[in-house]
């Protein structure tokens, strides 16, 4: 409600003003009365009413002087002047000082007051909106800092920097926040307000913070916030809302709400649920072992489709069982997508689908679809590399099994050819001996691992098929003119 001060030296006029209209139906509340300008100025200084309805001609201090002194104090209360037929010059002066309008006492009725109050209501609402827009960057820094502190707390200094960025006025505000997992669907603070979650206050302002398919709505109010419910509410998306809290409580409340939203992410349940601050802490989680993600990538690189899918299911079960935060699950999916796309020589164009997924199961469907596309492309590329069926069969075998013991003798047996004949035929069709081709495939994969991982060099050598690390170094330098160590260092220097 907008707070109203009535200033009128005649008691019966003040009484008529209070009774002529249903103030609360218009969004206003009469918070005080004064008989003259001096008394009114003291009230304005202490209570900061949103609207002052003042007579012009009064003892001690008239209405125009009251308006002037209010502006000199730097206060922006709206003013509506009550005037008689012979006081238009005073009314003109009041308008020059920023009064919103005036009402003739003799023709004052419900309709006249409704019209002027509607105008003032819009002015006040516009003022709140303008102030929120001006201060948005200050709040944005606060939201960004808290998000980074949630995602990766070890990278931020332990200080109260986010609170220092906020306007001083926020210290007296109360806040309700609501986290919603809406994916690619349009969503805004209006959806929260229309959910009938709380009683709207025209002085309140709303901010939205969007990240990876989820939005947190911040409802700030300088007055007490009245909730309409404390339980679950129907809602088209998974959502969590808090009870009113102070600005100092925001970091803990927001982080707890995000963790509770994680539960909805795994269960796939929709609806708005109240934040359970007692039942949900910010306990540490078990990180995903790197070897699980690495094994998916290697299985994909070797074109072992069924094995890669089995490992993907294993990773998804691990994350669900250990309740990894949703943002880490999406980061993992995005990382696997980018690496596998690079292996396939394609652009990773599934990022939006991955990051905007609304449940753990939906995300797995998207990443599986992406990997199938990349795998299909790789299989298609591996076919018809030469005009000889058996040579293509050997090339395909090498790409899928370069980490195994591959020999000319074994390949001759694989395609039922004489060993010497195969050796000459392979070089004729590819321009390389079979062993030279095998080494090139292995070194290209080793280069990929050097670029994308921090694995030890001996492990990379073993994973691409070199049983002896010295032999791995020798072949790597022969084909690249750099040792694996120098190659990795050159990548770091370029970065």
Q: DSSP labels for 426-438?
A: HHHHHSS-HHHHH
Tokens 């709040």, residue?
139
Residues 6+ apart with CB under 8 A from 285: 322, 323, 324, 325
Scored b (16 or more CB within 10 A) or e, 419-439 reads eeebbebbeebbeeebeebbb
Per residue in 207-216, pLDDT tens? 999 999 999 9
Percentage of residues in the chain having pLDDT higher than 70: 95
The yes-or-no verdict on residue 347 having pLDDT over 60 is: yes
Residues 6+ apart with CB under 8 A from 154: none
**How sure is the predictor about 135, in pLDDT bands with cuts at 50, 70 and 90?**
confident
**How sure is the predictor about 217, in pLDDT bands with cuts at 50, 70 and 90?**
very high
Q: Which of 83-92, 320-329, 367-376 has the lowest mean pLDDT?
A: 83-92
Q: How many residues does the chain have?
A: 495
End-to-end CA distance of the chain: 57
User: 3 and 78 in contact (C-beta within 8 Å)?
Assistant: no
The yes-or-no verdict on residue 495 having pLDDT over 70 is: no
Specify the pLDDT at position 159: 52
Cα-based angle 437, 374, 361 (whole degrees, multiple of 5): 140
Percentage of residues in the chain having pLDDT higher than 90: 55
**How sure is the predictor about 155, in pLDDT bands with cuts at 50, 70 and 90?**
low
User: Which CATH number applies to 2-108?
Assistant: 3.40.50.2300
* Cα distance between residue 204 and residue 175, in whole Å: 9
For the chain, what are the domain ranges?
A: 2-108, 135-274, 290-382, 389-494
Alpha carbons within 13 A on the beta-carbon side of 258:
28
Specify the pLDDT at position 338: 92
User: Residue 231, SS3?
Assistant: coil
**How sure is the predictor about 476, in pLDDT bands with cuts at 50, 70 and 90?**
very high
User: 395 and 385 in contact (C-beta within 8 Å)?
Assistant: yes
Specify the pLDDT at position 86: 60
Give 248's DSSP letter. G
Q: Which of 169-173, 245-249, 329-333, 431-435 has the lowest mean pLDDT?
A: 169-173
Reading the block at residue 386, the tokens are: 């030469």
Q: Which residue did the predictor score with more confidence, 22 or 107? A: 22
* Cα distance between residue 491 and residue 487, in whole Å: 7
* Cα distance between residue 181 and residue 327, in whole Å: 12
The domain 389-494 having CATH identifier 1.10.10.60: the answer here is yes
The yes-or-no verdict on residue 168 having pLDDT over 90 is: no
Tokens 């699980």, residue?
292
* Cα distance between residue 208 and residue 189, in whole Å: 7
Torsion of CA 102, 103, 106, 107, to 10 degrees: 140
Q: Which of 58-67, 106-115, 255-264, 293-302 has the lowest mean pLDDT?
A: 106-115
Question: Which of 290, 231, 323 shows the shortest CA–CA distance to 456?
Answer: 290
**How sure is the predictor about 169, in pLDDT bands with cuts at 50, 70 and 90?**
confident
Specify the pLDDT at position 282: 55
Burial of 226 (0-12, 13-18, 19+ CB in 10 A): exposed
Specify the pLDDT at position 461: 95
């Amino acid at each position: 409600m907008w707070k109203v001060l009535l200033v009128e030296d005649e008691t019966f006029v003040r009484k008529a003003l209070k009774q002529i209209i249903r103030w609360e139906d218009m969004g206003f509340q009469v918070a005080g009365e004064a008989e003259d300008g001096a008394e009114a100025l003291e009230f304005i200084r202490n209570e900061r009413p949103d609207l002052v309805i003042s007579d012009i001609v009064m003892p001690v201090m008239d209405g125009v002087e009251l308006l002037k002194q209010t502006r000199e104090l730097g206060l922006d209360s709206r003013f509506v002047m009550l005037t008689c037929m012979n006081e238009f010059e005073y009314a003109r002066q009041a308008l020059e000082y920023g009064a919103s309008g005036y009402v003739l006492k003799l023709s004052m009725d419900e309709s006249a007051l409704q019209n002027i109050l509607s105008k003032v209501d819009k002015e006040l609402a516009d003022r709140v909106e303008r102030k929120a827009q001006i201060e948005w960057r200050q709040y944005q820094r606060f939201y960004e800092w808290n998000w980074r502190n949630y995602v990766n707390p070890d990278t931020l200094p332990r200080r109260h920097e986010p609170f220092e960025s906020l306007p001083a006025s926020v210290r007296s505000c109360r806040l309700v926040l609501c986290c919603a997992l809406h994916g690619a669907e349009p969503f805004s603070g209006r959806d929260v307000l229309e959910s009938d979650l709380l009683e709207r206050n025209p002085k309140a302002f709303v901010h939205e913070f969007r990240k990876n398919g989820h939005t947190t709505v911040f409802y700030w109010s300088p007055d007490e916030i009245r909730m309409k419910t404390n339980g679950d509410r129907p809602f088209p998306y998974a959502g969590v809302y808090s009870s009113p809290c102070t600005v100092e409580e925001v970091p803990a409340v927001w982080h707890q709400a995000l963790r509770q939203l994680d539960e909805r992410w795994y269960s796939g349940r929709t609806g708005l649920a109240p934040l359970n601050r007692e039942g949900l802490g910010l306990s540490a989680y078990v990180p995903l072992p790197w070897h699980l993600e690495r094994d998916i990538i290697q299985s994909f690189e070797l074109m072992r489709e069924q094995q890669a899918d089995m490992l993907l299911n294993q990773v998804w079960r691990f994350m669900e069982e250990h309740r990894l935060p949703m943002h880490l699950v999406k980061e993992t999916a995005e990382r696997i997508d980018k690496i596998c796309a690079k292996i396939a020589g394609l652009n990773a164009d599934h990022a939006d689908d991955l990051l905007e997924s609304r449940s753990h199961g939906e995300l797995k469907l998207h990443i599986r679809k992406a990997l199938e596309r990349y795998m299909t492309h790789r299989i298609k590329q591996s076919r018809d590399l030469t005009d000889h069926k058996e040579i293509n069969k050997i090339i395909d075998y090498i790409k899928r099994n370069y980490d195994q013991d591959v020999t000319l003798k074994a390949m001759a047996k694989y395609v039922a050819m004489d060993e010497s004949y195969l050796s000459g035929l392979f070089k004729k069709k590819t321009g390389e001996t079979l062993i030279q081709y095998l080494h090139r495939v292995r070194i290209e994969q080793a280069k990929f691992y050097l670029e994308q991982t921090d694995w030890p060099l001996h492990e990379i050598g073993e994973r691409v098929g070199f049983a002896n690390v010295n032999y791995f170094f020798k072949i790597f330098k022969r084909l690249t003119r750099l040792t694996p160590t120098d190659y990795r260092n050159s990548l770091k220097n370029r970065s």
